[in-house]
A and B are shown apart, each in its own frame.
Chain A
């Protein structure tokens, strides 16, 4: 066999051009398949990155106590099911005394509650705006390793007064100023004064609800008093005094809380690595599912190539006859048709990859998603396109190569 030559490839391109409509549709099939596969993998990579970033941002040694059970485990401790509901807004099974239980557990340096208070805020004479108001404790900046850009966090001297610390986005979007220190706003009928502004939380937000850049932090006791102690505790963050002791501390917290809850496991104690595992396993199964669907669309694209090549073999029966008469071997005819199929599918692959970059860009601009295009997926996509070309081009090409030259020459 002679290796495919530049000339052969230019012939293949010419023959594609002469059947524009058919070739276009086939290439389109491959393009859609590749774009679907690449984009889905990219999005899920991006989401994984964002989630793990969000979790890491809170500190790797942070222990999170959440109401309800996040995952169902079987006897062997394997996760068998997940309640993938937002931690905020659940009916909370955590109460004030649980904060103390966690705080007093051996090895816990500090315990910080988080409670979302729903309501709208009004700045001066502007119309009311939705905002995420979170009641929390004095040690939050330390627990989540986040410093303030301006001002100071509330401390024991003023954590019963109406002060607020805001995220960067709140400053920009609601107060329309870079440093709205000292500004006031009203919330649930009370006036609050902005006392500090957090540094930008680096990870891009997955959902606006969980974005601390959009949050207004008020003292926990103020939040309790605003809601007459009815605001549920959404999360208790616990920081161990020794970062290497996370596992032990987490299990002591679990034991203590279990005692306090009279043996009811109606809460979850999560370490960061567990949270990661939970979100990752959810994302992985989603990615698998959508990946299969995208794979099916690639398969359809491949069948399209097979169809076009089959039609092209019939259309070009006479050409095959001529080529054989002037000395082409079966193998050379086979190669020719496979090259054509590969040229078609790799065109689809290249266009598909370029379009994936476009999709990526559009997603970044219009949504909160930040897809990540990895070189691995690009290589896989290119490989898949080539394999489709060879596999689905092979059958028709084989048919072409086996044609009897005399019949082929007689074919009109």
Chain B
């Protein structure tokens, strides 16, 4: 029995001719213990799908069976409780409460379950140790690096021991070292038997997944199983065709090149020459950046 089963699920926004179709009769079954990476361009309905699976949102049409039970008609309070006990969310923007310490943030979901204060702080401590943040318990989120902040929010997602972890571009705001740290945590969670849903733009990250789902315009266009540790076949193709660098990346590349060229540092005021050199060099080695993605 799949832990998550969507049958012809649609999500519509707006009315009449202003209606937007975010999901168009999507059917998807995910078995317990799968690590599913969901890929697709912006606006393809990935986040909407995650919100429906995570019980933050309701489908307009279709059926959703969670653990074999229909959750379409649950009342809000019941939905909140099922969400609390079954799903852990990890967001791109971390979404820790800035006024609470790391420990309090991680313990918060337990508070909503009615666990006593001492017990939940103890449980939160254990989870923080698991993600390697035991030294940062009494820090505020603003005092942590972005990698540590994301680790803390993963700890928060784990504290209720949910069967499903939903991560919506968790590495989107992280540098590559932090990304690896965070992804190793997800891999670790996956190894303990949890189901992980990961929304990402980065094909590299599909090497952690056991299955990759591609979405476009609210429809699943491709669904493939992959071996752990390998980038998915389709993702590998996409990697070279989809432009993965942005304007900022280009500028950062140019300045990094300028740093690398000896003798350029002291002549920063002579902007004409600088531009020329920079252009020349960037023409010389464009593929490296793109492969890196």
Contact = CB atoms under 8 A, between A and B. Distances in A.
A222 interface: no
Contact of B117 (A7, A323, A405): A7
Nearest to A408: B56
Contact of B112 (A15, A318, A326): A326
Contact of A330 (B77, B108, B113): B77
B99 A332 contact: no
A193 to B, nearest CB: 80
Given A18-B99, A322-B95, A329-B77, A406 B51 contact: yes
A331 B109 CA distance: 15
Contacts of B76: 329-330
A322 B80 contact: no
Interface string A1-37: 0100111100100110010000000000000000000
Contacts of A327: 80-81, 83-85, 109, 112-113, 160
A329 B99 contact: no
B80 A7 contact: no
Nearest to A11: B100
B56 A406 contact: yes
A328 B112 contact: yes
Nearest to A14: B99
Nearest to B159: A326
B4 interface: no
Contact of B91 (A6, A319, A409): A409
A6 B109 contact: no
B81 A326 contact: no
A66 interface: no
Interface in B61-111: 76-77, 80-81, 83-85, 88-89, 91, 95-97, 99-100, 108-109, 111
Most buried by A among B54, B80, B113: B80
Most buried by B among A318, A319, A321, A327: A327
A326 B99 contact: no
Given A332-B112, A409-B91, A324 B97 contact: no
B89 A326 contact: yes
A7 B109 CA distance: 13
Q: How large is the interface on A (under 10, 10 to 19, 20 to 34, 35 or more residues)?
A: 20 to 34
Interface string A327-347: 111111000000000000000
A258 interface: no
A403 to B, nearest CB: 12
A332 B112 CA distance: 7
A272 B23 CA distance: 87
Interface in A299-336: 318-319, 321-332
Contact of A328 (B80, B91, B96, B157): B80
Contact of A324 (B80, B111, B117): B80
A260 B84 CA distance: 93
A interface secondary structure, majority: helix
A324 B79 CA distance: 10
A328 to B, nearest CB: 5
B263 interface: no
Nearest to A321: B95
Given A6-B117, A327-B85, A406 B77 contact: no
A405 B56 contact: yes
Contact of B108 (A2, A323, A329, A405): A323
B57 to A, nearest CB: 6
Most buried by B among A15, A318, A322: A322
B51 A329 contact: no
Contacts of B114: 2
B156 interface: yes
Interface string B28-61: 0000000000000000000000010010110000
B56 A325 contact: yes
A406 B96 CA distance: 16
A329 B95 contact: no
B56 A326 contact: no
B111 A325 contact: no
Given A5-B117, A406-B57, A330 B80 contact: yes
A23 to B, nearest CB: 14
Nearest to A328: B112
Nearest to B96: A322
A325 B81 contact: no
A326 B77 contact: no
B95 A318 contact: yes
Contact of B80 (A14, A321, A329, A409): A329
A36 B156 CA distance: 48
Given A325-B56, A326-B84, A329-B81, A409 B112 contact: no
A327 B80 CA distance: 5
Contacts of A5: 111, 117
A6 B121 CA distance: 14
Contacts of B54: 325
B112 A329 contact: yes
Contacts of B91: 325, 409
A261 B108 CA distance: 87
Contacts of B160: 327
B199 to A, nearest CB: 14
A331 to B, nearest CB: 6
A178 to B, nearest CB: 66
A405 B84 CA distance: 13
A326 B108 contact: yes
Contacts of A332: 80, 112
Given A319-B97, A332-B80, 13 more contacts: A2-B114, A8-B111, A11-B100, A14-B99, A15-B99, A322-B95, A325-B54, A325-B56, A327-B85, A327-B113, A409-B56, A409-B91, A409-B95
25 contacts: A7-B117, A8-B111, A11-B100, A14-B99, A15-B99, A18-B99, A318-B95, A322-B97, A323-B97, A323-B108, A325-B95, A326-B84, A326-B108, A326-B109, A326-B112, A327-B81, A327-B83, A327-B85, A327-B160, A328-B84, A329-B112, A330-B77, A405-B57, A406-B56, A406-B57
